[in-house]
Amino acid sequence: MICFRLLDSKDPAQPLANAVRALANEEAPQDTYEVEPTSFRHITNAPFAYWVSESIRELFVTLPAFENDERTVKVGLQTGDDFRFVRSAWETPVNQSEVTNRTWFHFAKGGSYSPFYADVPARVKWSNDGKELDAYTGSVLRNTNYYFRSGLTWPLRGIRYSAQAVPINCIFSIAGKMAMGATTEMNKELLGLFNSTTFDYLIRIFAGKVGGVQYEVGLIASIPTPDLQDHDEELKTIGALAYATQKQPDTANLTSHAFLAPAIAPSRSRSNPTNK
């Protein structure tokens, strides 16, 4: 089967005619792919990823899926009424450090593209172990035994995949899904992996499209993932450095959960060297 990739052409008619003519003349037109149709079956649901090499498609056969006994991907809480149950963090009382007897917890809701780090600006009302939410007709409580664990979340959809670390004592939502390793150290490795161009590339192949992918649980759970043991320290280092760099501006943001202290304003002498 011959496929022509003409996504960058505003009017593909002429480029298509040129490609067909070149092929008929036994030339090698650009962005032309010869594919064995049965090879699409190497990937679950057989996405029409004709532009991918055979060796890449075989990764979906030879490598295990991301979700296994040590890693999982889960969808979380659907409040059914965010106006009632969700607030900005600065609207809620300051909580004690203990989980018990708390009312408001940070709530991961997806957000926008932001590799490695993003603030968690929302909080959800989870008093008495979520009894009020559980009693509310419109809410759906999913995977509650995974709440309050550290992990990674990401935007619901986007042109490029990005994942952000989520600290402990947070609840995740139907839009802000979570991936979790068996340990905190494993989550550090996954932060580096999830923000790699390779992981994004495999997601786009599995989804069968270039942009506008919706990052559902089943999609992320099925991405082929190699054994990370040979690269775990490198991934941790990359993830930790990028996370700290991205987080730094929020340490001076009063409304951020990462706030530490106000930024120090430049002195008059520094801003105006001639002033004495």
pLDDT, tens digit (0-9, with 9 covering 90-100), for 99-144: 566 889 999 998 899 999 999 999 999 988 899 999 999 999 999 9
In a domain, 259, yes or no: no
- Residue 269 pLDDT > 50: no
Instruction: Tell how strand 122-125 and strand 32-34 pair up.
Output: unpaired
CB neighbours (10 Å) of residue 26? 6
Confidence of residue 276 (pLDDT cuts 50, 70, 90): very low
In a domain, 260, yes or no: no
Q: Look up the CATH number of the domain holding residue 155.
A: 3.90.220
Say what the pLDDT of residue 45 is: 63
Same domain, 48 and 93: no
The token pair at 114 is: 């932001």
Confidence of residue 86 (pLDDT cuts 50, 70, 90): very high
Q: Determine the 3-state secondary structure of 204 from DSSP.
A: helix
pLDDT, the chain, mean: 84
Same domain, 131 and 187: yes
In whole angstroms, give the CA distance from residue 178 to residue 77.
11
Contacts of 247 (CB under 8 A, 6+ apart): 117, 258
Same domain, 35 and 113: no
In a domain, 21, yes or no: yes
Same domain, 131 and 167: yes
- Residue-range definition of the domain harbouring residue 44: 2-53
Confidence of residue 268 (pLDDT cuts 50, 70, 90): very low
In a domain, 124, yes or no: yes
Same domain, 21 and 90: no
Same domain, 226 and 112: yes
Same domain, 41 and 87: no
In a domain, 268, yes or no: no
What's the domain count of the chain? 2
- Residue 210 pLDDT > 90: no
Are the CB atoms for 67 and 222 separated by under 8 Å?
yes
- Residue 213 pLDDT > 50: yes
Same domain, 98 and 206: yes
DSSP strand E in 17-75: where? 32-34, 71-74
Please list the helix, strand and coil fractions of the chain in percent, rounded to the nearest 5, in that order: 35, 15, 45
In a domain, 58, yes or no: no
Same domain, 17 and 99: no
Q: In angstroms, what is the C-alpha Rg of the chain?
A: 23
In a domain, 272, yes or no: no
Provide DSSP, 115-154.
Answer: SB-----EEEE-GGGGHHHHHSTT-B---GGGTT--EEE-
- Residue 93 pLDDT > 60: yes
In a domain, 80, yes or no: yes
Could you tell me how many residues make up the chain? 276
Same domain, 88 and 150: yes
- Residue 257 pLDDT > 50: yes
Same domain, 49 and 75: no
Same domain, 14 and 133: no
Residue-wise pLDDT tens digits, 19-77: 777 777 777 666 777 777 766 666 666 665 666 667 777 787 788 889 999 999 999 99
